[in-house]
Structures are given as structure tokens and as C-alpha cells.
Amino acid sequence: AGAESSAAGGKLVMVTNAEFPPYEYHDNNDIVGIDADIAKAIADKMGMELEIQDMAFDSLIPAVQSGKADFTAAGMTVNEDRKKNVDFTDTYAQAAQVIIVKDGSEIKAPADLDGKKIGVQTGTTGDIYAGDIKDGNIQRFNKGMEAVMALTQGKVDAVVIDREPAKVFVKENAGLKILDEAFTEEEYAIAVKKGNTELLEKMNAAIKELKDSGELQKIVDKYITA
Ligand code: GLN
């Protein structure tokens, strides 16, 4: 990774947390998903090889900062705090934090979360924003799916997590639902090392091409059926 790999024909090292379907997840020994496909398409346009490494979500930005990885694509929400540590490409997806509850829960809207036990994935925007809730009792998990399991077991009252993985987890676990009112609206982007404008500009150019050609939408449609 690092400066060398930015040369044409080199290798781009991507880090992600492959516990986040449909953006990144394990399929046998492969890491697949929307981000994996987008990153592959970007690397192709740059004439480079792509290597994907899996790690904890809260290790992704440090890996990019230290140069262990060239970039992270991880359904990562752009926010001001992260912008202090990494540079973000143009955004490539609209996203939201939503609230998952058990069917019949008395929690019907974000305002009802006050004083409730809320499950989140460590270091995610769900974690950050749920922490703003008055009297919120935040329970942190390494994987979003573990937070959802805690909900099914009654150990937490709600889970705050990104909309698309929420849909997948609710489909896989009976008796859960996503509240209509989202908790936040946000956007995803790829993050590179601060000051790596060469890579940032190349990635932005590739993202623009993918958007303009409809290729990006095709990738999304492959993983998300309306
Ligand atoms: N979008 C959320 C964030 O950026 C969660 C991302 C994830 O868990 N991969 O914090």
C-alpha cells in the first residue's frame, strides 16, 4: 500500500468490515457486495489490481491514516469528525440510520428511544448519534448482526443501524420491523489518506464515470431489489 501502489499497474489495497450486507459481506471466501464491486470497477478504470482486507469497523480509518491501506469503502458515512482524519471522495450512495424494534414494541419513533437500551455497532454513526439521546443506554457490539441478535433476545429495546443492512437483518429474523421514521439521513463515500489528492482525484473521476454511464446503478440493482 501507500505511495508505491498509486503508480499505474500497481495494487490498490482496500480495507472494509465485511459484516455489512449488501455493501460488504462474506460469500464463502470472498468479500462481495456493492462496495466491493464499486471498488473493483474503480480499480479497473485506474488499471490497477484490487486487494480487499477485512477488519473491525473502528480500525478502518486508522489503517488508512497509517498507510496500511490505500482506501476504505465500507458504507462509511461522511461526517465532520471523520473529515479531520481522512479525505472523502464524492458520495456514491444515499443512506440513513434507521431503528429496528420487535413487532409490537412501544417504540414507534426516534423520540421514544429516550431511556431505552439501544444496540449499535461500535464506532458507527449509529453509535455516535444514539449516544446523543437523553438518558440513552447504549450497548455496543462488534457486528451489526450481534446487536440484532441482542434485540431478538430482549437484551436491548432497539437497534440503530444503516437502512440497507437493517433490511437484510430484519428479513433474516422473524418478529422484527424497521420504524418508518429514519433516525438520520446520511451519505456514503470512500476515504483515502489525508492529503492523497492524486488518488482522491483519480477515484472521483472513476466514480463520476460510473455514475454517468449507469454502471453504478447497475451494481446497486444487483444487490438491492426494490
Ligand atoms: N454508515 C455507518 C458509519 O459510517 C456504518 C458503516 C458500517 O458499519 N460499515 O458509521
Percent of the chain with pLDDT over 70: 96
- Which range (2-16, 74-88, 160-174, 193-207) has the least confidence? 2-16
In this structure, the residue with its CA closest to atom 5 of ligand 1 is 124
Q: What's the sign of the alpha-carbon dihedral 33, 38, 44, 50?
A: negative
Q: What's the sign of the alpha-carbon dihedral 115, 101, 161, 169?
A: positive
Cα(77) to centroid of ligand 1, in Å? 6
Q: In whole numbers, what is the pLDDT of the chain averaged over residues?
A: 94
pLDDT digits (tens, 9 = 90+) for 115-151: 999 999 999 999 998 888 877 799 999 999 999 999 9
According to the CATH classification, is domain 96-185 in 3.40.190.10? yes
Residue 10: predicted pLDDT: 92
Integer CA distances (angstroms), 56 to 16, 122, 158, 166, in order: 8, 9, 22, 19
Residue 5: predicted pLDDT: 47
Residue 121 in contact with residue 71, Cβ under 8 Å?
A: no
**For 3-92+189-223, which CATH superfamily applies?**
Periplasmic binding protein-like II (3.40.190.10)
| φ/ψ of residue 107, rounded to 5 | -80, 115
Task: Name residues contacting ligand 1 (CB within 6 A).
Answer: 17, 20, 57, 74-77, 121, 124-125, 162
Cα(46) to centroid of ligand 1, in Å? 26
Domain with CATH 3.40.190.10 in the chain: 3-92+189-223, 96-185
pLDDT for 96 beyond 50: yes
